[in-house]
């Protein structure tokens, strides 16, 4: 054992292992659920435009969205990956790893003797908890490409100075990658202003004047490119949606310098506290340590294991350096200044548009720190190294901080995983219930019913769902989602009068009317299926009052039951799983088309497979079909089951029996069952 321990103690880890260690951190943080994640919120804009309009549509979208330079990157990526969400998740993580590895290489080439700090900064960059939007792979994959090409440009600038004989070659490469950077996300453009620090540090020690002069000379072409980029993007370019492109805060500073600067300072201070301090509180929320939950135990186990593994790796990495002997060396101030420059200048794109982190909701506010994350990570690593004196404690602290971030990102991915499951369950059920819909059909819901989405992203998802690939010839949307609570303030008077319904997002417009609507209720957290309401559902007390009031608007005739289901779900997902909701949706559609024998058959098959509803409402089409096919005793039994499953079903069940009586001829079996229902439910 002593020999083994001695051999292990002699093991050293080479520098080339660090990118692979960073890959390990990426996989631990984002890998566990990567095959179970999908599309969320603004992902759907890109998916819709790519699926229905192709490359030209993506360039059009990015123009309307205020990011005109990114269109080519998205077009090439969709051409490569299609619309499979798993491919996109892997693709985004791949670029994130390359971006982080390139950032580490920049740090390593600048401070080669300080591997602990440079590795720690890169690892913290991976797991930084304020940015919790990695599962939104389509929207933000491009920012990692932007980080990557800028880091490569930084590297070539450093190499040009360190290798004078190849100065012009490396400078040409650095400028080429800088020009590529201009074609990527504006989120990272402000980081360019930190390049002079790297130039200064790479130059040999000369007089202050000579060093400053050379820094200016070397930086001049990059500054020129940056100025031209900002001038064009901020002041010359105009998006069709003007507020997406205007530098509102900078404009306010120009018109009212004192007021604009005052707002910038006052609003940026809370941001600074959140960015550097409060964001880390998310990794230690008390509810995350409720040991009764199996998932919490698994994440805690992952944190402990990764802390141990990182601790061992860091201890081996530390064998080649002695940072304690250099506590007063200038490298600490150099790192601090470089990190601070990235932090400050990385916020410029967001602040220029008037977006402040603390003024937006999580997790969506995380996108505003994308350009600052490398600087934040470097400052955090430097702070930990400066705060903890003892080398072993310092390494353990760094390992624990990184591991807590890994745990937080896993928890975040888990939320996105369940949100995607709710999404896909909804899409599958909707297609079973409404295989095709008439153009200009509006969907109405009481509130937003899909987590990590929103009304207009869901509208884009619905339009994608009912589209054929590369089928769009106009900018008219086939359908749209309107949320009564937010779109109409909960007021339904106008809806009931058949009011026009219109909306517009980017270049896509919808125009319809409230009388051409389908009304949705979806509560998957309650174990319920999606309900596509009908006018007859006005008597169902368990349905919210708002939806009961507008249920007469629901027009099932807008559904084409004979149409083949659209191909989109087959492109991205396995077939609809066999469960109760699949049988319920097929049964509801068959009931609409008056195929009552088919409804009964579906019920029998579902029960043989052990499928049962969680809500009595979902038995209504099966109850009526049993009665309409003469199975009165079975209709009574299901009525009793429905009433036991859910409260306040009496009115709906009595109304169902009244409809059955109106559509059938009298028989002893019917009259006997009807009397039992009246006695049981108290029907009048």
610: confidence class by pLDDT, cuts 50, 70, 90: very high
Contacts of 365 (CB under 8 A, 6+ apart): 130, 357, 358, 359
Q: What average pLDDT does the segment 92-115 reach?
A: 96
Q: What average pLDDT does the segment 613-640 reach?
A: 95
Q: What average pLDDT does the segment 136-141 reach?
A: 95
Cβ density class 210-243: b for 16+ within 10 Å, e for less: eeeebbeebbeebeebbeebbeebbeeeebeeee
Decide if pLDDT at 4 tops 80: no
Q: Nearest to residue 39, comparing CAs of 78, 80, 79?
A: 78
Decide if pLDDT at 325 tops 50: no
Decide if pLDDT at 417 tops 60: yes
In angstroms, the CA 349 to CA 340 distance is 16
Cβ burial, residue 259 (10 Å; 0-12/13-18/19+): exposed
Q: What average pLDDT does the segment 364-377 reach?
A: 93
Q: Which fold has domain 578-684?
A: 1.25.40
Query: Is beta strand 508-513 parallel, antiparallel or unpaired with respect to 500-505?
Result: antiparallel
Look-up: residue for tokens 């548009």? 353
Look at residue 250 in the predicted model and tell me its pLDDT. Answer: 61
Decide if pLDDT at 628 tops 80: yes
DSSP label at 68? Answer: G
Look at residue 391 in the predicted model and tell me its pLDDT. Answer: 87
pLDDT digits 0-9 by tens, 149-169: 999 999 999 999 999 999 999
Decide if pLDDT at 354 tops 90: no
H or E, element range at 501 = strand 500-505
Both structure tokens of 574: 């396995």
Look at residue 466 in the predicted model and tell me its pLDDT. Answer: 93
Q: Tell me what the pLDDT averaged over the chain comes to.
A: 90
Share of the chain above pLDDT 90, in %: 71
In angstroms, the CA 538 to CA 545 distance is 9
In angstroms, the CA 156 to CA 469 distance is 42
SS (H, E, C) 454-467: CHHHHHHHHHHHCC
323: confidence class by pLDDT, cuts 50, 70, 90: very low
Domain chopping of the chain, boundaries = 10-416, 434-574, 578-684
Decide if pLDDT at 5 tops 80: no
pLDDT digits 0-9 by tens, 430-457: 999 999 999 999 999 999 999 999 999 9
CA distances from 250 to 193, 642, 683 (A): 17, 62, 69
Q: In what order do the strands lie in the sheet with 441-445?
A: 479-483, 441-445, 517-522, 530-533
In angstroms, the CA 371 to CA 550 distance is 46
Cβ burial, residue 557 (10 Å; 0-12/13-18/19+): exposed
Taking the model in full, what pTM does it have?
0.92
Would the CA dihedral through 335, 337, 342, 347 be positive or negative? positive
Look at residue 280 in the predicted model and tell me its pLDDT. Answer: 94
Q: Strand pairing partners for 501?
A: 512
CA distances from 516 to 455, 551, 559 (A): 18, 12, 11
Decide if pLDDT at 378 tops 70: yes
Q: What average pLDDT does the segment 245-262 reach?
A: 66
H or E, element range at 87 = helix 85-110
Decide if pLDDT at 415 tops 60: yes
Contacts of 140 (CB under 8 A, 6+ apart): 92, 133, 134, 367, 370
Q: Nearest to residue 536, comparing CAs of 523, 520, 555?
A: 555
Q: Strand pairing partners for 43?
A: none
Look at residue 2 in the predicted model and tell me its pLDDT. Answer: 52
Look at residue 211 in the predicted model and tell me its pLDDT. Answer: 93
Report whether 526 contacts 559 (CB < 8 A): no
In angstroms, the CA 25 to CA 97 distance is 9
Q: What average pLDDT does the segment 332-356 reach?
A: 91
φ, ψ dihedrals at 387, nearest 5°: -80, -35
In angstroms, the CA 318 to CA 381 distance is 15
pLDDT digits 0-9 by tens, 165-196: 999 999 999 999 999 998 888 889 999 999 99
Look at residue 324 in the predicted model and tell me its pLDDT. Answer: 45
Report whether 624 contacts 656 (CB < 8 A): yes
Decide if pLDDT at 486 tops 90: no
pLDDT digits 0-9 by tens, 456-482: 999 999 999 999 888 888 899 999 999
CA distances from 71 to 65, 182, 567, 574 (A): 10, 12, 26, 30
Look at residue 15 in the predicted model and tell me its pLDDT. Answer: 87
pLDDT digits 0-9 by tens, 518-555: 999 999 999 999 999 999 998 888 999 999 999 999 99
């Amino acid at each position: 054992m002593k020999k083994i321990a001695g051999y292990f103690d002699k093991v050293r880890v080479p520098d080339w292992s660090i990118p692979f260690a960073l890959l390990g951190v990426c996989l631990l943080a984002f890998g566990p659920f990567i095959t179970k994640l999908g599309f969320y919120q603004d992902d759907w804009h890109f998916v819709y435009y790519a699926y229905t309009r192709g490359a030209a549509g993506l360039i059009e979208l990015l123009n309307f969205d205020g990011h005109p330079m990114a269109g080519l990157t998205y077009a090439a990526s969709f051409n490569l990956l299609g619309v499979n969400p798993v491919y996109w998740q892997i693709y985004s993580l791949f670029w994130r790893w390359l971006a982080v590895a390139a950032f580490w290489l920049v740090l390593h080439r600048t401070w080669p003797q300080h591997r602990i700090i440079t590795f720690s900064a890169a690892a913290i960059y991976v797991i930084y908890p304020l940015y919790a939007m990695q599962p939104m792979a389509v929207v933000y994959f491009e920012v990692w490409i932007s980080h990557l090409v800028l880091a490569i440009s930084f590297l070539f600038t450093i190499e040009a100075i360190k290798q004078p004989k190849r100065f012009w070659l490396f400078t040409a490469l650095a400028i080429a990658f800088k020009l590529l950077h201009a074609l990527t996300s504006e989120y990272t453009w402000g980081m360019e202003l930190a390049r002079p620090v790297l130039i200064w540090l790479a130059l040999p020690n000369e007089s202050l004047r000579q060093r400053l002069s050379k820094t200016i000379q070397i930086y001049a072409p990059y500054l020129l490119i940056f100025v031209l980029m900002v001038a064009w993007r901020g002041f010359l370019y105009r998006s069709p949606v003007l507020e997406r492109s205007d530098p509102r805060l900078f404009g306010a500073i120009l018109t009212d310098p004192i007021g604009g600067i005052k707002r910038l300072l006052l609003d940026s201070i809370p941001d600074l506290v959140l960015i550097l301090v409060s964001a880390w509180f998310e990794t230690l929320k008390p509810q995350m340590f409720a040991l009764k939950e199996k998932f919490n135990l698994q994440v805690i186990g992952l944190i402990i294991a990764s802390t141990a593994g990182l601790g061992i790796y860091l201890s081996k990495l530390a064998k080649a350096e002695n940072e304690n002997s250099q506590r007063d060396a200038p490298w600490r101030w150099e790192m601090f200044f470089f990190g601070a420059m990235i932090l400050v200048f990385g916020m410029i794109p967001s602040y220029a548009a008037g977006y402040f982190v603390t003024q937006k909701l999580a997790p969506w506010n995380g996108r505003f720190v994308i350009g600052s994350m490398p600087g934040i990570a470097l400052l955090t690593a430097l702070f930990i190294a400066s705060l903890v004196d003892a080398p072993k404690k310092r390494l353990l602290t760094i390992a624990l901080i990184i591991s807590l971030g890994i745990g937080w990102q896993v928890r975040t991915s888990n939320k996105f995983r369940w949100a995607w499951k709710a999404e896909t369950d909804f899409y599958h059920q909707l297609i079973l219930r409404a295989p095709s819909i008439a153009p200009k059909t509006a969907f109405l819901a009481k509130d937003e019913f899909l987590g990590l989405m929103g009304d207009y992203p869901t509208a884009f998802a619905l339009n994608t769902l009912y589209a054929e690939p590369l089928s769009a010839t106009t900018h008219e949307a086939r359908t749209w989602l309107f949320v009564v609570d937010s779109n109409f303030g909960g007021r339904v008077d106008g809806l009931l009068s058949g009011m026009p319904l219109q909306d517009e997002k980017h270049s896509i417009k919808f125009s319809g009317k409230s009388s051409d609507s389908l009304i949705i209720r979806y509560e998957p957290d309650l174990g319920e299926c999606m309900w596509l309401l009908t006018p007859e559902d006005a008597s169902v007390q368990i349905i919210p009052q708002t939806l009961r009031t507008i249920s007469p608007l629901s027009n099932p005739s807008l559904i084409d039951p004979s149409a083949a289901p659209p191909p989109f779900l087959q492109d991205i997902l396995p077939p609809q799983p066999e469960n109760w909701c699949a049988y319920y949706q097929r049964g509801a559609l068959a009931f609409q088309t008056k195929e009552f024998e088919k409804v009964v058959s579906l019920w029998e098959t579902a029960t043989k497979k052990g499928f049962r509803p969680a809500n009595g409402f979902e038995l209504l089409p099966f109850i009526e079909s049993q009665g309409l096919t003469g199975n009165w005793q079975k209709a009574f039994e299901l009525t009793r089951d429905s009433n036991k499953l859910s409260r306040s079903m009496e009115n709906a069940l009595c109304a169902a029996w009244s409809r059955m009586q109106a559509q059938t001829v009298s028989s002893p079996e019917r009259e006997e069952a009807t009397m039992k229902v009246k006695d049981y439910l108290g029907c009048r």
